Amino acid sequence: MDCYHILQKLCDSFGPSTYEDEVIETIKQILGKSCSYYETPHKNLVVVPKIIGKPSRVIFLQAHMDELCFRPFRYFDDGFVELTPLAYIPAIAANHRIKFSPTGVHAILIVEGKDSSHKYYADVGACNKSEAQSLIPPLSNGAYLGTIET
C-alpha cells in the first residue's frame, strides 16, 4: 500500500474525540503482524516492531487522532438538532456532512451566526423530535466529513 492510500485510509477512519478506536484499529491493520501493540490509558498507541535477531526499538505514537466533532445539545419539535462542538469549528464548515456514531446517520451541518456566536444544527431529515432522537441519540458523536478550505 502506497503512502497516499495509507493516509486516505487513516483519514477515512471514524475517530471523534474519546472514540479513536477505529483509528487505532486502522493503524494495526496497516502495520499487521510485524509489530506488537500496546495502548496506554489515555488512548496513546505504543508500537513495537518485531525484528528477528536485532534489538527492537519502541515507537510511541502520540498524536491527535480525533476529528472535528459534535454532540447533540437540544432537540426541536420540527426534527432539527442543535449541536455542541467539541473543538473549534470554523464557520466555513457549514453545509457539509457529518456522520454520527453509533448509528452511522449522515446529517447536513447548518451554521448560524457570526464570529464567536455561532450556533450549529444538524438536519437529518427528521419530521419531529422523537425521530431526530432515534437517528441521533443523546451522547452520540458526529464527525465532520467535509474538507476545510480557507
pLDDT digits (tens, 9 = 90+) for 93-112: 667 788 888 888 999 888 88
Query: How many CB atoms are closer than 10 A to CB 86?
Result: 18
Any bridge partners for residue 112, and if so which? 119
Grid cell, residue 123, equals 438536519
pLDDT in tens, 28-48: 888 888 888 877 766 667 777
| CB contact set of 16 (below 8 Å; sequence gap of 6+) | 66, 67, 69, 86, 101, 141, 142, 143
The pTM of this model reads: 0.57
Tell me the pLDDT band of 150, cut-offs 50, 70 and 90.
very low
